Amino acid sequence: MKIVMCASEVVPFAKTGGLADVAGALPLALEERGEEVIVIMPKYKSVQNSKFDIQVSKEGIPYSVLGKKIKVYFIENDAYFNRDALYGDKTGDYPDNLDRFSYFSKKALELLKTVNFKADIIHVHDWQASLVPVYLKNLFAKDPFYKDMRTLLTIHNIGYQGLFPKDEFPKLGLDWSLFSIEGLEFYDKVNILKGGMEFSDIINTVSPTYAKEIQTKEFGFGLEGVLNKRKNSVFGILNGLDYSIWNPETDKFTAKNFSAKSTRGKEQCKEDLQALCKLPLKKDVPLFGIVSRLAEQKGFDILADGIDAICNLGLQMVILGTGDLKYHQILEEMVKKYPKVISLNLKFDDALAHKIYAGSDLFLMPSRYEPCGLGQLIAFRYGAIPLVFKTGGLADTVDKKNGFIFDDYSKDELIKTIKASVAAFKVKTKWSGLVTGAMKLDFSWEESAKKYLGLYAKAKKTK
């Protein structure tokens, strides 16, 4: 099959979250299975010629190669993409995001013709690429080159929909008739993700539980009706993990390498992390890691409410992340109060993330909702036992046998579960069994890639 992966962030070129991990790893897994894949993403500032081997195609398009021969084409427009960040700065989203990503989507489709890639499937991700199916079925509908192309939209988080004022609609170059209930209209605003949901042939999200959850009022962010209408075309496929990147046996960022067979190196990783974060070097105190966006979605509301009490439970905590200023401030206060308990790192830092997964005994991820979550999967592989709220992909991957899970979203339940995990950590032989068991779990892409191929085949059969 000829497959196009179209995403606004792709590892290793640009990343703000799990979407990039998926868009970088799934093509590799598909290529392994013998499929022909290309990737299309914007040429951000981070896509530097010096860092990646960037070439120019005979048609004049910059590209790089992933895996054996996956071409990653970059849509270039310096005014739109040559910026420090992907979607916004500390004042909020970039005001011209609709211009930026409608440009990206249109150019991505044009590129297929330019490089003569007659795709079977265009697999688009999140709102930033959701205009691809809209344009394909409207602006490009008459062009025979595109006639047999089908689309799959993967929703990585339905909380981010690409909402814009109605008066920006004309910029999309679409007929006003599409500003309707069956189109992109949403409470008198433009909703780009909704457009993708209306016009893609198949929709999926990144775990079976989240696929069910988003069809309810509680989790659907207003789009549950659209999903219900298309419920026979909505699926859930758990993300895999790229174990060539996330592998404690070969990790270049960690103080020592280790494996399920020999976890000794993990102790040194813990000591290294404690030293780096200026925490007391203590073996017998459980070290909790957090690598996350600091957002309410990730459970920071109950965590912020409970953090003072949590700091008194006989543990250490290393937090890495950026996000809502409110949480930056609350956590900064806590660091002042408990400098020997918490280390706060308000930044995006891939190397430190690796060190945290490797050096932590537990990984805290009390997300209020979680489409799939990669943090807990990475944590498993590094023997950091996840402690999570029972929702979405966390409910599909963590249970009482491999981690700690609570099912009532409240500060009190969080604290109770942390207490229980601290007590469990003290029972050494049982704990080391938990660690090695977690490290052996397999969430590789193989199974998920097979399932995606199943969805592509289904999409091909649609009219």
Query: Which one of 52, 338, 348, 431 is in contact with ligand ADP (CB under 6 A)?
Result: 348
Shortest Å, Cβ 113 to ligand ADP:
32
Residue appearing with tokens 């004022």: 165
* Whole-number Å distance between alpha carbons of 316 and 280: 9
Q: Which is nearer to ligand ADP, 135 or 246 (CB)?
A: 246
Kindly state the number of chain residues that form the binding site for ligand ADP, as judged by CB under 6 A: 19
Cβ atoms of 132 and 7 within 8 Å: the answer is no
Query: Does 350 sit near ligand ADP (CB under 6 A)?
Result: yes
Query: Which one of 17, 222, 314, 437 is in contact with ligand ADP (CB under 6 A)?
Result: 17
Query: Does 373 sit near ligand ADP (CB under 6 A)?
Result: yes
Residue appearing with tokens 């920006």: 168
Cβ atoms of 331 and 359 within 8 Å: the answer is no
Q: Which is nearer to ligand ADP, 193 or 320 (CB)?
A: 320
Q: Which is nearer to ligand ADP, 29 or 378 (CB)?
A: 378
Tokens of 165: 């004022």
CA dihedral 361, 365, 371, 373 (to 10 degrees): -30
Query: Does 18 sit near ligand ADP (CB under 6 A)?
Result: yes
Cβ atoms of 209 and 395 within 8 Å: the answer is yes
Shortest Å, Cβ 246 to ligand ADP:
8
Cβ atoms of 308 and 331 within 8 Å: the answer is no
Shortest Å, Cβ 300 to ligand ADP:
12
Query: Does 409 sit near ligand ADP (CB under 6 A)?
Result: no
Residue appearing with tokens 């023997």: 383
Coil/strand/helix, residue 298: helix
Residue appearing with tokens 């999967």: 377
| Residues numbered 179-238 forming contacts with ligand ADP, rule: CB under 6 A | none
Nearest to 282 by CA among 417, 425, 421: 425
Q: Which is nearer to ligand ADP, 51 or 147 (CB)?
A: 51
Shortest Å, Cβ 353 to ligand ADP:
4
- Binding-residue pattern over the window 305 to 334 for ligand ADP, x denoting contact by CB under 6 A: ---------------xxx------------
Length of the chain: 463
Q: Which is nearer to ligand ADP, 102 or 367 (CB)?
A: 367
Burial of 326 (0-12, 13-18, 19+ CB in 10 A): middle
* Whole-number Å distance between alpha carbons of 226 and 87: 26
Q: Taking CB positions, which residue lies at the least distance from ligand ADP? A: 18
Tokens of 74: 């970059």
Tokens of 452: 């995606």
Q: Among 13-21, 34-42, 103-111, 218-226, which window interacts with ligand ADP (CB under 6 A)?
A: 13-21
CA dihedral 133, 137, 139, 142 (to 10 degrees): 140
| Residues numbered 40-79 forming contacts with ligand ADP, rule: CB under 6 A | none
Q: Among 94-102, 291-299, 333-341, 399-407, which window interacts with ligand ADP (CB under 6 A)?
A: 291-299
Q: Among 16-24, 128-136, 159-167, 444-452, which window interacts with ligand ADP (CB under 6 A)?
A: 16-24
Tokens of 25: 């790893």
Q: Which is nearer to ligand ADP, 212 or 293 (CB)?
A: 293
Shortest Å, Cβ 292 to ligand ADP:
5
Residue 362: what residue type? L
Binding site for ligand ADP (CB under 6 A): 17-18, 21, 157, 291-293, 320-322, 348-350, 353, 372-375, 378
